[in-house]
Structure 1
Amino acid sequence: MQKDKQLIIYDIAFLIVSLYFSFLLRFEFNIPQEYMMLLKLSIIPVVIINLVCNRFFNLYSSIWKYASVEELMSVIYSISLSNIIFIIYSYFVYYKFLENKLYRFPFSVHIIFWILSVLALGAVRFMWRVAQDNNLGKDSIDVKKKLLIIGAGDASALLIKEIKRHKSFNYSIVGLIDDDPSKQGRLINGIEVIGGRDRIVEVCKERNVEEIILAIPSADLEIKREIINICRDTNCKLKTLPGIYEIIDGEVSISKLRDVNIEDLLGREEVTLNNENINKYIKDRTILVTGGGGSIGSELCRQISKFKPAKLLILDIYENNVYDVQMELNRTHPELNKEVIIASIREVERLREIFEQYKPDVVFHAAAHKHVPLMESNPVEAIKNNIIGTYNLLKCAQEYKVKKFVQISTDKAVNPTNIMGATKRFCEIMVQAFDKVSTTEYVAVRFGNVLGSNGSVIPLFKKQIAEGGPVTVTHPEINRFFMTIPEAAQLVIQAGSIAKGGEIFVLDMGKPVKIVDLARDLITLSGYKPDVEIKIEYTGLRPGEKLYEELLMDEVALTSTEHDKIFVEKPNNIDLEFVEKSIEQFKKAASMDKEDIFKLVEEKVPTYKRKK
């Protein structure tokens, strides 16, 4: 309100000065006495008319530190309307002076006054913006962060504009980095392109850079990874714009910025899906996802929702997580017909009720106990949930003639050394056995660790870093395959579209990653120095834990499929009678001691070699 009053006072002063100079210019700096009297009498009506028009065009309600062409046009509209009104006023109101003569404004005065008023009122507003910018700069000069921007394209140009406009970000841009020689040495919105990626470390050191923003959303993943790896040597905080395919509205802005995370280093190129094949078995069908509140299950629900199923059934025993998924889908897919079912896959009668009521066409089975050390201590629970629970679902799918059943498996099922992996391997055996005798197409999809999933190392490491360390790694040589949650879910759905029945699909997991390297990367991305500010401690391998995971059985070869990231393992000759007898024995596990349980699993899963 105080600033509005100041603008009104400035406007009054500039309007009077503009009117006076209009007469001076018209009469070549020698205003006749009678026109001087006319000028004095006209000041009040001119000022009142202009102020009313200014108010009408919101010239006192705009935030002038963000003034742009639109605000300048409002000034022009206001001055033009006020001049038209005053012309009409001056021709209807006569002023009598000496010898009863009538005097009016010369028309040229109106034109000159219009030009001077636009210049004066427009200038005062843009000077106001400059003054506000300078004041903000002076107020925050001591806390501005030195910023380096990677990329000198459209995204960078837009970011620079926003950073200059939003002073609350307190950034001082030291320069731009781009590998294109034709851009180097040139200016983008007043900021110089100071070199290519080979100068990043040098520039950060010389100019005390504190933050780096990667503004290269259209660059491929390999280039981004290379640049991020260079930036890690600077000890600067890294931020990035998501890839173009992740920016849904196509707009680049500061609001899209996020911290560089481990997915940027380990992720792969965007998955290309064959939507036509997926539509054939998901669109307008009833889809059941078990473990729908978990990491993979919830992402399956998100991805499936895009393909417009007739109904999505989200089953989970734990209501809190599945409630969050329900609320999210209510927001993102309000049109989706969905049902949340709280139930345990261990209770076969409850499952039969669900299959009888909803008659699902496709089942994605993601419900499982997956924590290796906990299952090693509680093998009965692993058998109840992973083996008997899966058997119950396989049986219901057969009885109610489900079209397709997709079992989520794991690399830990290959030559397992722990009870969790062994139970998942037996699930694969059951899937292939049921496929031989059923009209339902039963398949399993096997992949490694997913980044950020519940119980994975990433959330644990982040928590340990937030607490100041140490970060605990079991062994300096331990490695794992990693995949992002969306990629895993998308490839599972794609594998389902390829399936004919009985296959074990193996997803391309890329190269294995050392867990200690993962820990160091996370510490660096969090703004700390590994082994200096945050220590890494080795705790020793846990019960049942391997140094290296495998994705396929040693004795079989993989065959490629129509999708370059999905391979298939040849089906084995599995007898359903063997499965049925084994289930009867597994059901007695609750009354057995641990050693007997492990021996039973070793008997039923030939590739299981318990690590003691």
Structure 2
Amino acid sequence: MSKNRQKRISLWTVRLGSLLVDTLVMASAYLVAFLLRFDFHEPWWGWRRVAYSFVTVLIVQLAALALFGCYKLLWRYTSVADVPRFVGAIATSTVTLFALRLLFPSYMGLRPPYSITLFNGFLVLGGLLGVRLLRRLILEGNPVWEAAAQNYRRMLLVGAGSTGNEVARELRRNRERRWDVVGFLDDDPTKMHAWVQGVPVLGVIDDLPHIVKKKMVDEIIVTMVKVPREVISRVIRLAEQAQVPIRIVPTYYELIENRLEATAFRKINVADLLGRDEVKPDNASIIALLGRKRVLVTGAGGTIGSELVRQIMRAGPEQLVMLDRSENALYNIEREIRRLNPAAPIAPVLADIGERERIDAVLVAYRPQVVVHAAAYKHVPMMEHNPGEALKNNVLATQTLGEVCVARGVERFVFISTDKAVNPASVMGLTKRMAEVVLQDLNRLDKTCFSAVRFGNVLDSSGSVVPLFREQIQNGQPITVTHPDMRRYFMTIGEAVSLVLQAAALAKGGEIFVLDMGEPIRIVELAEEMIVLSGLRPHVDVPIVFTGIRPGEKLFEELDVSERSAYQTGHARIFISKIRQVEHQTVATLLEKCRHLGTDNLDKDSLRTAVHELYSEIANDEEQAHT
């Protein structure tokens, strides 16, 4: 017998069983309705004629249930959402029986009182829902009885909100996974001692170690999608204290993009430590910006550039030109995109943005309408040792690219900037600020719409602290932190790029957009939490060593989105800096001096000093305008 035939037989067996059970419920309800109507005495016309009339009632009620799709529902998944179907079916059948009583007063030789038909409707509705609920309760088991099952993994859920409710329901439904939910923890006082899906709220989050010991918990599951940073940090430390593993429910994007179940728990990662609400992208504005357009991304093989490529591809561009001077980086992102879509409209181009003739040839060949400029030198300590290269790549090459874009009719140019361009102290920050100034000056030509987007550190980007800390932990080395008070803004790669593209869609020309990155995070706290997530103890299993602030570094980076420093846009997380544009003559002088510095044979210390002096010449022109 084929598997398909077996499935069909099994399906009809289930439906036949449902019909038989429902018939018994309806017969019992009809009998009870008569008994209630006649005070538990036999009707004067006898039970045989009652039985005859039941045939009509049965046919009408079964037909109504089928009409409302009640037999397409699986009993094991019966929920409140299914009640309207049954109410509609029984209401329809009751009205139909009333109509039959009026039109055919003696159908089947019997004239049942209207009250019996009404009683019967209520009894059938309660009976049908009751047997289905009973079936589900039996299937899912009794949590009190199963709590004693030693083979079950005992789980404590943190968060008794809507996500916790869904997770508890799924865990109870999927008993074959041998999970037992012993309770919830939640800081909401209104939920204290309440029950959610048959599971009690046992206390607040700070009770975690006590509850773990009392209930012999095997694992903690964080069932909150939007978890404040202080809450997730507290849960991690309490779980470490209780010595139990901890996992978390998938995020909104993981559920949608990967089609995961709510119970597809994963380990807590560094991104969860940020503790901010997820940014749901405005896909319509991004598609309007990039859909059916020819787009070029510089630095396409880098951390930001490769994520730009991924998200731009989702917008459906006519063509995406991926430009980078690193052969390996370009190869990797091309292979990734081709693996997902062999027919993707992409073009990998090896080029250096500082070579005017090569860039001009690329723009002539591909005619991009939108250019997103992510290519840059970004490592602060390295640029302190190589200030000349920072000047060439971050300033002069950006000028070259911008001028060629104007000459070749590019419609929009989006520059990826940094929080280090705010009151810059490093060569890297100084050169990125100079690049902003140069592009704002080009915007005056009113041919290409130039804009820049500032944001802080991107989690897990190459050369950042997160992969460094991870490597040090894996190698059993001490974690090195420059200063105990060092703080930085962090954002996930996907979140940052999504906001960059949404900011670009808002651009009118000349704006410096600033992303709201929440509160800055102490680097030493990030290191401690990464150690805990690795199953080790900070300062015990893994020492933390303070090495001192390096040249060019600041204790605190600045991203001021207050009303004093920035204008609001239509997006809650995107602002426009109030910083004033630098005069054209000042920019022209700046670029001329930059070109001379690039050819002068200066040592790095002299060159670094010269870069700072260059910036001081434009500092007076970049005061913030006050409204």
TM-score, reference length from structure 2: 0.69
Q: Cα offset for 1:386?
A: 1.0
Residue 230 of structure 1: aligned partner: 235
Aligned to 2:610: 600
**Is 1:157 aligned to residue 169 of structure 2?**
yes
How does 1:52-71 map onto structure 2 within 5 Å?
Answer: 56=1
| In the alignment, structure 1 residue 221 sits paired with structure 2 residue 227 | yes
Residues 200, 231 of structure 1: 8 Å contact kept: no
SS at the partner of 1:177? strand
Write the distance in 2 (CA, Å) between the matches of 1:58 and 1:443.
61
The change in CA–CA distance for 1:577 and 1:399 in structure 2 (over 3 A counts) is: farther
Q: Which amino acid aligns with 2:293?
A: R
1:504-553 CA distance string (max 9 Å, x none): 11111111111111111111222222112211110001111111111259
Cα 1:445–1:75, aligned 2, differ >3 Å: closer, same or farther?
A: closer
Q: Which amino acid aligns with 1:73?
A: S
1:572 alignment partner in structure 2:
580
**For 1:148 and 1:381, how far apart are their aligned partners in 2?**
54
2:430 to 422, 432, 447: 422
Quote the residue 1:327 is aligned against: 335
**Distance of aligned partners of 1:399 and 1:166 in 2 relative to their CA distance in 1, 3 Å threshold:** same
- The equivalent of 1:315 in structure 2 is 323
Q: Which stretch shows the higher mean deviation, 355-364 or 382-391?
A: 382-391
Q: What's the offset of the Cα at 1:265?
A: 2.1
Distance 2:392 2:265 in 1: 45
Counterpart for residue 300 of structure 2: 292
Pair 1:280-2:285 in alignment:
no
Q: 1:558: Cα distance to partner?
A: 1.2
- CA separation in 2, counterparts of 1:593 and 1:554? 40
Deviations 1:13-37 (A, max 9, x none): xxxxxxxxxxxxxxxxxxxxxxxxx
CA shift digits 1:335-379 (9 cap, x unpaired): 541111111112121111101101111111111110111111111
**Do the aligned residues in 2 keep the contact of 1:414 with 1:550 (CA within 8 Å)?**
yes
Tell me how far 1:72 sits from its aligned partner: 9.9
1:112 paired residue number = none
Judged with a 3 Å threshold, the aligned counterparts in structure 2 of structure 1 residues 160 and 334 are, in CA distance, closer, same or farther, namely: farther
Q: 1:73 aligns with which of 2, 5, 10?
A: 10
How far apart are the structure 2 equivalents of 1:306 and 1:275? Answer: 9
**How many residues in Structure 1 have an aligned counterpart in Structure 2?**
477
CA contact (8 A) 2:484 2:546 kept: yes
State the 1:304 CA deviation.
1.4
Q: The residue matched to 1:537 in structure 2 has which SS?
A: strand
Percent of residue pairs bearing the same amino acid type: 39
C-alpha change, 1:324 and 1:577, in structure 2 (3 Å) is: same
The 2-side partners of 1:346 and 1:160 are apart by: 61
Whether 2:349 is the aligned partner of 1:341: answer yes
Whether the 8 Å contact between 2:482 and 2:547 is mirrored in structure 1 is yes
Q: 1:607 to 1:257 in 2, by over 3 A?
A: farther
SS of the counterpart of 1:364? strand
What SS does the aligned partner of 2:500 have? helix
Residues of 1 paired with 2:541 and 2:617: CA distance?
43
Closer, same or farther in 2 for the Cα pair 1:73/1:552, shift >3 Å? closer
Q: Counterparts of 1:583 and 1:215 in 2: how far apart (Å)?
A: 54
CA shift at 1:461, angstroms? 0.9
The answer to whether the Cα contact below 8 Å between 2:165 and 2:196 also exists between their aligned partners in 1 is no
CA distance in 2, matches of 1:304, 1:293: 14
Given that residues 239 and 246 in structure 2 are in contact (C-alpha distance below 8 angstroms), is that contact kept between their aligned partners in structure 1? Answer: no
Which residue number corresponds to residue 108 of structure 1?
none
Q: Evaluate the alpha carbon distance shift between residue 554 and residue 381 of structure 1 in structure 2; reply closer, same or farther with a 3 A threshold.
A: farther
Aligned residue identity for 2:245: K
Q: Structure 1 residues 557 and 209 mapped into 2: Cα distance closer, same or farther (>3 Å)?
A: same
Residue 482 of structure 2 corresponds to which residue in structure 1?
A: 474
Structure 2 CA distance for aligned equivalents of residues 542 and 333 of structure 1:
44
- Find the counterpart in structure 2 of residue 301 from structure 1: 309
1:225-263 superposed Cα distances (whole Å, 9 cap, x missing partner)? 625523421213221121234302654165x32211121
Q: Residues 198 and 582 of structure 1: is their aligned pair in 2 closer, same or farther, counting only changes over 3 Å?
A: closer
TM alignment of 1:221-260, pairs within 5 A? 221-222=227-228, 226=231, 229-235=234-240, 236-248=244-256, 250-252=259-261, 256-260=264-268
SS at structure 2 position matched to 1:587: helix
* One-letter amino acid of the structure 2 residue matched with residue 383 of structure 1: L
Alignment partner of 1:528 out of 536, 556, 559? 536
Q: Which moved more, 1:542-551 or 1:201-210?
A: 201-210
Partner of 1:530, secondary structure, is coil
Counterpart of 2:368 in structure 1 is 360
Query: Aligned partners of 1:464 and 1:607: how far apart in 2?
Result: 42
- In structure 1, the partner of 2:76 is none
CA distance in 1, matches of 2:254, 2:471: 27
Partner of 1:379: 387
Higher relative contact order (CA 8 A, sep 6+): 1
Following TM superposition, by how much is the alpha carbon of 1:491 offset from its aligned partner in structure 2, in angstroms?
1.1
C-alpha separation in 2, matches of 1:353 and 1:245: 39
SS in 2 for 1:221: coil
Matched, 1:518 2:455: no
CA-to-aligned-CA distance 1:378-434 (integer Å, 9 cap, x gap): 112211211122111111111111111111111111111111111111101101111
Give the number of the structure whose alpha-carbon radius of gyration is greater.
1
Deviation at 1:494, TM superposition (A): 1.0
The answer (yes or no) to whether the contact 2:219–2:245 under 8 Å persists in 1 is yes
1:547-586 mapped onto 2 (5 Å cutoff): 547-551=555-559, 557-570=565-578, 572-586=580-594
Alpha-carbon shift at residue 498 of structure 1 (Å) = 1.1
Aligned partner of 2:261: which letter?
V
Map 1:136-147 → 2, pairs under 5 A: 147=155
- Deviation string for 1:138-183 (max 9, x for gaps)? xx989x8654333552223324555x5357xxxx646231548779
Matched ranges for 1:100-179 at <5 A = 147-150=155-158, 151=160, 152-159=164-171, 162=174, 164-166=175-177, 173=180, 175-179=182-186
Match 1:462 to one of 442, 466, 470: 470
Residue 333 to residue 270, structure 1, CA distance change in 2 (3 Å): farther
- Distance in structure 2 (CA, Å) of the matches to 1:365 and 1:603: 26
Provide the residue aligned with 1:85 in structure 2.
none
AA at the equivalent of 2:613? E
Q: Does 1:443 align with 2:451?
A: yes
Tell me which residue corresponds to 2:546: 538
2-structure distance, mates of 1:275, 1:192: 40
Measure the CA separation in 2 of the matches of 1:58 and 1:285. Answer: 49
Q: Structure 2: how far apart are the matches of 1:490 and 1:362?
A: 16
